[in-house]
Amino acid sequence: MTAHTAKDSAPKAGAMRTKLPKPLKGPKQASKRMGLAGRVAMIAVAAAFFAALAQWVVTPILGQGEIRQQRQTAVIAGANLLADISRIHAEAGHWSEINKLVDALSVGMPDGQSAVFDANWQLLAKDGAVERVPPQTKLAELAADMSAVMVEGERYYAARRIESGGTLYGYAVYSFQPRAFIDIWLWVVALNAIVLSLVLLAIAPLIYRLARHALKPVTELERRIRMRDPKDKSKLADSSDDRLLKPLLTSIDEVHERSEAAMRRALTMAYTDPVTRLPNRLRFVSRLDGAVATGEDVYLLICDLDRFREINVTHGPRLADIALAGVAERLRATASQAKLTGAFIGRIGADQFGLILPGASQVAVSEFIAAASHAIAQGFTAEGQYVRLSASFGAAISPRDAATGGDLLKQAEIALKEAKRQTASSFAFFDQRLLDRARAQTRLEEEMREGLERGEFVAVYQPKVKLETGELVGAEALARWRRPDGMVVSPGAFIPIAEELGLIAKLGKQVMRDACFAAAGWNRRGIVLSVAVNVSPHQFDDPDFVNSVYQALDDSGLSPSQLELEITESAAVADADRVARIMWPLRNRGVRLAIDDFGTGHSNFAAITRLPFDVFKIDQQFVRALSTDPHAPAIVEMILAMAEALGQETVAEGVETKEQADFLLRRACTIGQGYYYSPPLPADEFDAFVRSYRPRKADRFAA
């Protein structure tokens, strides 16, 4: 139990370290933000302030005409006053003392400036402040019109005649320069702004309180939505009778319901495999993690369909999907019949299902595997086609084999690989030996990749001899891996791995080029031999295969007729059409084709005779068995007879003794290859071998 809690809390602590969850907004944080009422109050204050400001700016612009009018009236009134007083002064006979009058007036009208002229426009008196008097002609014009005002620069002028009883005494000129309007106005605005700000500041709390009161239903609602428990399914609309809020709440409820439904649909889609309706890998893995984390015994079983790719190709993806759904159903039914309580099934790969079996015993799992294998092997009939199926199983148990879901998956996969590898049974339980082997395999795979980059894969050459004359007619190129530690690895160990890892295309190309260049080199040195290269069916997956053969021939300068490609019988019959499609163009160029290891495949003679082959290579097991197995001579004879009937050349592999060579010649076999003549040799040794070779003839009439 303690182990369980420790495990439970560990990942949580890790998660805290890497990604801190967003803290929930508590009441303290909420109060720090400005509330709705605060915002409304602020907007009201700002609006009042800006409205007042706008008014102050606009007022002087709009009032400009009126202001000018006022100024004109003022200057006219000043001129009238000066003229009237001057007239009274003149009537009283004090005209000569007009100076004193003007001085006295300037005290009374501090903003204005006065000047008095005689009837001939001679200046009689002026206010001390007057610096410049406008030209006499302009003043005369001004005095002629009672309502005229002259503006010069910033200054306003008005002039009046001083006359009484038909006598013109002179002229009164009055002027004043008003203070710049903007100066006054700025002052007004600044003062107003200060006053307004103070007022607004004073009433802001009141506005705030009013806004708060008005918005109370909304803020209350906001608080409720924020504090709402996610599990609370009650409708928001039911909680308010407010005429304005109710429709709003109803639409919030609707949006909420719709988004929840969409979320549920998306979640289901994200975690379910559409073909089988089983949980997908994502959901399976998270369930597995949970099951393993309990610390209780839990078996993980992987069920992998055999050769599913072929089924896809032969029956098409639609039928393959139907078969997959059928397998899912049978696994489910078998699990429920087997009473495996708590079994959880998911689709974890294209042709893989996973089963989490908590608390199951190894015996129960074995029984389930047997029952499920049986159920799957019944096959499926759909759309008039029968789909034959079989499956392999790999199992591992936690906590014994692995402490995490991810590791448990790896171990079950290792067990599955073992199940696929072995032929006797179709299931395996994980154990440590398998892990060691898997690790060694991984190491080997890495070394192979590096070896391929470093050119460690080379060809050796085994001569082929015409049985009758003993003369050399060709050589077979056989791949070898020369490892940096000096060890030489045989193809039986690395070809299957290269095929599985998809490295065979590259490896095959290297051997092909090696062989073509070696044979072209022999030609140049006067040794005219053909060279045979083994081709794996996996190389046909490489769309560049045919081109790479042409390329090797072109680059080396070897004649196509000197190149022979060997394809094993089993590969040739497995997909005869494809082999024919790929091989015909090569054959039309003159490349020869051989069926390798003949007699070991499930011979399909109809298919083989359709293929463009020139050579049959009898598998070495028949040659070896010639002296030990009483049936072997008959089989060899039959193959040779068939080849002869088809007019094809025959090569016997694994010839080790003179007796074997003699027998083969007697039965009309044409060519022999084997240790009797020579083991496979590195390219440089092959030259020397050829030069020192003494023909080893077979004897047709030997006993």
One-letter amino acid for residue 686 of the chain: F
- For the CB of residue 552, give the shortest distance to ligand C2E in the complex, in Å: 13
- For the CB of residue 421, give the shortest distance to ligand C2E in the complex, in Å: 18
CA distances (Å), 266 to each of 76, 260, 262, 269, 565, in order?
Answer: 88, 10, 6, 5, 54
Instruction: Kindly tell me which of 85 and 623 has the beta carbon lying closer to ligand C2E.
Output: 623
* Omega prior to 274 cis, within 30 of 0: no
Which partner in Mg ion, ligand C2E, none is near 492 (CB below 5 to 8 A by kind)? ligand C2E
Q: Pull the structure tokens for residue 218.
A: 């909304």
Which partner in Mg ion, ligand C2E, none is near 508 (CB below 5 to 8 A by kind)? ligand C2E
Q: Pull the structure tokens for residue 398.
A: 């936690």
Residues 6+ apart with CB under 8 A from 457: 451, 479, 480, 481, 482, 507, 510, 511
Instruction: Kindly tell me which of 398 and 534 has the beta carbon lying closer to Mg ion.
Output: 534
What's phi and psi for 70, nearest 5 deg?
-60, -40
Which partner in Mg ion, ligand C2E, none is near 55 (CB below 5 to 8 A by kind)? none
Instruction: Kindly tell me which of 338 and 479 has the beta carbon lying closer to Mg ion.
Output: 479
Q: Which element (helix H / strand E) includes 385?
A: strand 385-387
Does residue 351 bind Mg ion (CB under 5 A)? Answer: no
Does residue 596 bind Mg ion (CB under 5 A)? Answer: yes
What beta strand segments (E) does 96-147 contain?
112-118, 123-126
Which partner in ligand C2E, Mg ion, none is near 536 (CB below 5 to 8 A by kind)? ligand C2E
Which partner in ligand C2E, Mg ion, none is near 384 (CB below 5 to 8 A by kind)? none
- Report DSSP state, residue 21: P
Instruction: Kindly tell me which of 52 and 512 has the beta carbon lying closer to Mg ion.
Output: 512
Q: Pull the structure tokens for residue 590.
A: 């003159």
- For the CB of residue 574, give the shortest distance to ligand C2E in the complex, in Å: 14
User: Please, which of residues 649-678 interact with Mg ion by CB under 5 A?
Assistant: 653
Quick one: CA dihedral 113, 119, 120, 124, positive or negative? negative
Instruction: Kindly tell me which of 245 and 467 has the beta carbon lying closer to ligand C2E.
Output: 467
- For the CB of residue 21, give the shortest distance to ligand C2E in the complex, in Å: 57
Query: What residues make contact with ligand C2E under the rule CB under 6 A?
Result: 462, 478-479, 490-492, 495, 508, 511, 534-536, 566, 596-597, 620, 653-654, 656, 674-675, 680
**Count of chain residues binding Mg ion (CB under 5 A):** 5
CA–CA distance, 419 with 434 (Å, rounded to integer): 11
CA–CA distance, 78 with 106 (Å, rounded to integer): 11
3-state secondary structure of 604: coil
Do residues 515 and 531 lie in contact, with contact meaning Cβ atoms separated by under 8 Å?
A: yes
Instruction: Kindly tell me which of 240 and 570 has the beta carbon lying closer to Mg ion.
Output: 570
CA–CA distance, 686 with 476 (Å, rounded to integer): 11
Instruction: Kindly tell me which of 106 and 534 has the beta carbon lying closer to ligand C2E.
Output: 534
Which partner in ligand C2E, Mg ion, none is near 479 (CB below 5 to 8 A by kind)? ligand C2E
Q: Which of 94, 112, 82 is nearest to 178 (CA)?
A: 112
Instruction: Kindly tell me which of 239 and 621 has the beta carbon lying closer to ligand C2E.
Output: 621
Which partner in Mg ion, ligand C2E, none is near 478 (CB below 5 to 8 A by kind)? ligand C2E
Instruction: Kindly tell me which of 78 and 451 has the beta carbon lying closer to ligand C2E.
Output: 451
Cα angle value 105/111/116 (rounded, 5°): 40
Instruction: Kindly tell me which of 413 and 597 has the beta carbon lying closer to Mg ion.
Output: 597
Which partner in ligand C2E, Mg ion, none is near 98 (CB below 5 to 8 A by kind)? none
Q: Which of 514, 480, 513 is nearest to 498 (CA)?
A: 480
Binding mask 250-289 for Mg ion (x = CB under 5 A): ----------------------------------------
One-letter amino acid for residue 527 of the chain: I
Q: Select from 566, 569, 649, 662 the one that contacts Mg ion (CB under 5 A).
A: 566
Which partner in Mg ion, ligand C2E, none is near 654 (CB below 5 to 8 A by kind)? ligand C2E
CA–CA distance, 168 with 597 (Å, rounded to integer): 150
Q: Select from 597, 643, 650, 677 the one that contacts Mg ion (CB under 5 A).
A: 597
Classify residue 230 as exposed, middle or buried by CB count within 10 Å of its CB (0-12, 13-18, 19+). exposed
Instruction: Kindly tell me which of 354 and 599 has the beta carbon lying closer to ligand C2E.
Output: 599
Does residue 564 bind Mg ion (CB under 5 A)? Answer: no
Which partner in ligand C2E, Mg ion, none is near 392 (CB below 5 to 8 A by kind)? none
Do residues 452 and 511 lie in contact, with contact meaning Cβ atoms separated by under 8 Å?
A: no
Question: In which residue are the tokens 């944080």 written?
Answer: 29
- For the CB of residue 9, give the shortest distance to ligand C2E in the complex, in Å: 55
Which partner in Mg ion, ligand C2E, none is near 511 (CB below 5 to 8 A by kind)? ligand C2E
Instruction: Kindly tell me which of 142 and 531 has the beta carbon lying closer to ligand C2E.
Output: 531
Ranked by CB distance to ligand C2E, the top (closest) residue is 674
- For the CB of residue 496, give the shortest distance to ligand C2E in the complex, in Å: 9
Which partner in Mg ion, ligand C2E, none is near 312 (CB below 5 to 8 A by kind)? none
CA–CA distance, 284 with 290 (Å, rounded to integer): 10
User: Please, which of residues 521-560 interact with Mg ion by CB under 5 A?
Assistant: 534
- For the CB of residue 549, give the shortest distance to Mg ion in the complex, in Å: 16
Instruction: Kindly tell me which of 325 and 618 has the beta carbon lying closer to Mg ion.
Output: 618
Which partner in Mg ion, ligand C2E, none is near 675 (CB below 5 to 8 A by kind)? ligand C2E
Q: Which of 177, 249, 259 is nearest to 220 (CA)?
A: 249
- For the CB of residue 402, give the shortest distance to Mg ion in the complex, in Å: 42
- For the CB of residue 460, give the shortest distance to ligand C2E in the complex, in Å: 7
Instruction: Kindly tell me which of 237 and 546 has the beta carbon lying closer to ligand C2E.
Output: 546
The DSSP secondary structure of 434-485, one letter per residue, reads HHHHHHHHHHHHHHHHHHHHTT-EEEEEEEEEETTT--EEEEEEEEEEE-TT
Do residues 398 and 298 lie in contact, with contact meaning Cβ atoms separated by under 8 Å?
A: yes
One-letter amino acid for residue 68 of the chain: R
Tell me the HSE value of 533 on the side-chain side, using a 13 A CA sphere.
27
3-state secondary structure of 45: helix
Residues at the interface with Mg ion (CB under 5 A): 534, 566, 596-597, 653
